[in-house]
Amino acid sequence: MDRIFIYDTTLRDGSQGEGISFSLQDKLAITLKLDELGVDYIEGGYPIANPKDESYFKEVKSLKLRHARIASFGSTRRANTRVEDDKNIKALLMAETPVVTIVGKSWDFQVKNVLKVPLDENLKMVSDTIAYLRAKDREVFFDAEHFFDGYKKNREYALKVVQEAQLSGAEAIVLCDTNGGSLPAEIAEIVGDVRENIQGMLSIHVHNDGDLAVANTLAAVNRGVRQVQGTINGIGERCGNADLCSVIPNLVLKMGCHCLEDGGLRKLTEVSRYVYETANLLLRSNQPFVGVSAFAHKGGLHVNAIQKDKGTYEHISPDSVGNERKILISELSGSSTIMTKTIGYSWNVEGQDSKLMRSILEEVQTLENEGYQFESAEASFELLAMKKMGKYRSFFDLEGFRVIVEKRENGLPVTEATVKVKVNNIQELCASEGAGPVNALDAALRKALDRFYPSLKDMKLVDYKVRVINPRSGTAAKVRVIIESKDKENIWNTVGVSENLIDASWHALVDSIEYKLLKEQEVEAKNNVKS
């Protein structure tokens, strides 16, 4: 089993992605998550670039990391400057990291037109920097920037640069596809040639401009690379970097390599979503391995096959990467899909007849024809199934609601909602103002139910989406409202459809609250059984 070392650059290269900005605390928290995952190296940043990265290298020393080693990143000494006098090199030493990654030019075009120095001077900049840092007892990795483009244009010089780096003491030579335009066959061929000319460890660092970063990384490993670099979720400049959330499971599960400590792979989905949340990015639902839809099954034939053998439509087990299987409910479902889905509910019992399953399916198909969508509103589907199975109980009855939008003297609109409900034959009438009609209606309903169901204080609406279903009908078009709610333990989605936006929102709100109360009732019942 080949040992492949994982070098994560989420905090440095990943932070260069558009719209991504990690705070100091974000970077420290992600460092701990990456260490828990079991990566070997965490590139923390560029110590001379900004005060935040400088502070990171001071603070990270206080973290009790169990496995990962921290690397700082910097460039070779400047032209015509003694290495010991270079500010960048001084900053790298002051960071006091055990590993230093140095980037240098390996494409003669870049040396001549960007650095504007002779080719021999560039070689000396590389060798001086690495030798100096090695003398300071640092483990040094050399990033050969634009290596593959340089190799294609001038093989002799590109090889000379990495050979100089190795002779100067670099422990790993990092071959970079900086512009991200190489193909897997090119990567494989070039890495194979380098392998014959370099004795030490080879590493690969590729960008995703051709949507081939993962494929290029795996191709490089096949030709002798033993360290891979990338970012969580593939975030990074332009089109991003190689996505470690795909690279790692492919290496472990498909290529038989050893990358993470035992159990680390099962934490991959958790780490992926943590980075999305911390970076304030939307999850990519169809992201391989870790996406919420990576193991989602919708078609009836697919679900039927999955029931018989999971390998029919899954290339790996979801839990191997910490993910989970989802059975989606829609008009494409079959009775077997409904059966599979309902068996998973805690209130259900096995042995439901096919006639009942067909009845639920027909109701789903009818409602989806009217504009409902249950694959993104599973809480509403569970309520529907409970009603069909006779398991449902209502927690309150609506006697009426009214919503008024008024524009006052200051020019700002004010919305007021009034709700009248009955709980256990007790009538409650409440009014509330809100930022908009749905917000006011939500507040009024909660106020009306508060004294009967105090646990609703723990629940809040976190997302609200509106979709026009038949836009050609103009202002008379139907709308679909999907509401995402959460409490201290769970997150769930509900749906409502109507020609009236307020009415659609009301149905989704009621489902959301009833689902919360039903789940709470289940927990209480379990606790009573235990006691």
Structure confidence at residue 325 as a pLDDT band (50, 70, 90): confident
Whether 176 and 265 share a structural domain: yes
Query: Token pair of 30, please?
Result: 């992600």
Whether 42 and 119 share a structural domain: yes
pLDDT digits (tens, 9 = 90+) for 149-162: 999 999 999 999 99
Q: What is the CATH number of the domain that holds 434?
A: 3.30.160.740
Asked if residue 507 belongs to a domain, the reply is no
* Residue-level pLDDT at 170: 98
Q: What is the CATH number of the domain that holds 30?
A: 3.20.20.70
Asked if residue 468 belongs to a domain, the reply is no
* Residue-level pLDDT at 304: 61
> Residue 335 pLDDT > 60, yes or no?
no
* CB atoms inside a 10 Å sphere around CB 382: 26
pLDDT digits (tens, 9 = 90+) for 40-88: 999 999 998 788 999 999 999 999 999 999 999 999 999 989 999 999 9
Asked whether the beta carbons of 103 and 165 are under 8 A apart, the reply is no
Asked if residue 329 belongs to a domain, the reply is yes
Alpha-helical regions (H) of 80-211 = 87-95, 108-110, 119-135, 147-153, 155-167, 184-197
Whether 212 and 70 share a structural domain: yes
DSSP string, 257-282: -B-S-TTGGGGHHHHHHHHHHHTT--
Asked if residue 178 belongs to a domain, the reply is yes
Asked if residue 477 belongs to a domain, the reply is no
pLDDT digits (tens, 9 = 90+) for 424-437: 899 999 999 988 88
pLDDT digits (tens, 9 = 90+) for 396-409: 999 999 999 887 77
Whether 251 and 104 share a structural domain: yes
Where a domain ends, among 452, 471, 495? 452
Whether 268 and 304 share a structural domain: no
Structure confidence at residue 497 as a pLDDT band (50, 70, 90): very high
Whether 408 and 263 share a structural domain: no
pLDDT digits (tens, 9 = 90+) for 193-221: 999 999 899 999 999 999 999 999 999 99
Q: Report how far apart the first and last C-alpha atoms of the chain are (Å, whole number).
A: 50
Give CA separation, 209 vs 15, 106, 206, 238, in Å: 17, 20, 9, 7
For residue 74, what are the contacts with CB-CB under 8 A and spacing of at least 6?
46, 47, 48, 88, 89, 91, 92, 100, 101, 102, 103
Alpha-carbon gap, residue 132 to 127, rounded angstroms: 8
Query: Token pair of 345, please?
Result: 């509910």
φ, ψ dihedrals at 100, nearest 5°: -125, 130
Q: Which of 173, 133, 125 is nearest to 151 (CA)?
A: 173
* Residue-level pLDDT at 357: 78
* Residue-level pLDDT at 463: 87
For residue 187, what are the contacts with CB-CB under 8 A and spacing of at least 6?
148, 177, 204, 206, 216, 219, 220, 223
Query: Token pair of 9, please?
Result: 């650059």
CA atoms within 13 A on the CB side of 154: 15
Alpha-carbon gap, residue 434 to 1, rounded angstroms: 61
Structure confidence at residue 263 as a pLDDT band (50, 70, 90): confident
**Averaged pLDDT of the chain:** 89
Asked whether the beta carbons of 337 and 303 are under 8 A apart, the reply is yes
Asked if residue 501 belongs to a domain, the reply is no
Query: Between residues 41 and 298, which one has the greater pLDDT?
Result: 41
* Residue-level pLDDT at 391: 78
Percentage of the chain lying above the pLDDT 90 cut = 64
Asked if residue 469 belongs to a domain, the reply is no
The structural domain count of the chain equals 3
Q: How far is CA 165 from the centre of its chain?
A: 36
Whether 117 and 183 share a structural domain: yes
Structure confidence at residue 247 as a pLDDT band (50, 70, 90): very high
Whether 236 and 259 share a structural domain: yes
Alpha-carbon gap, residue 49 to 55, rounded angstroms: 11
Alpha-carbon gap, residue 146 to 163, rounded angstroms: 16
Where a domain ends, among 342, 369, 389? 389
Whether 401 and 418 share a structural domain: yes
Q: Which of 188, 114, 176, 96 is nearest to 141 (CA)?
A: 176
Coil, helix or strand for 203?
Answer: strand
Where a domain ends, among 435, 452, 469? 452
Whether 83 and 128 share a structural domain: yes
* CB atoms inside a 10 Å sphere around CB 353: 9
Asked if residue 521 belongs to a domain, the reply is no
Structure confidence at residue 264 as a pLDDT band (50, 70, 90): very high
Structure confidence at residue 384 as a pLDDT band (50, 70, 90): confident
Whether 203 and 325 share a structural domain: no
Whether 349 and 233 share a structural domain: no
Q: What is the domain extent for residue 316?
A: 298-389
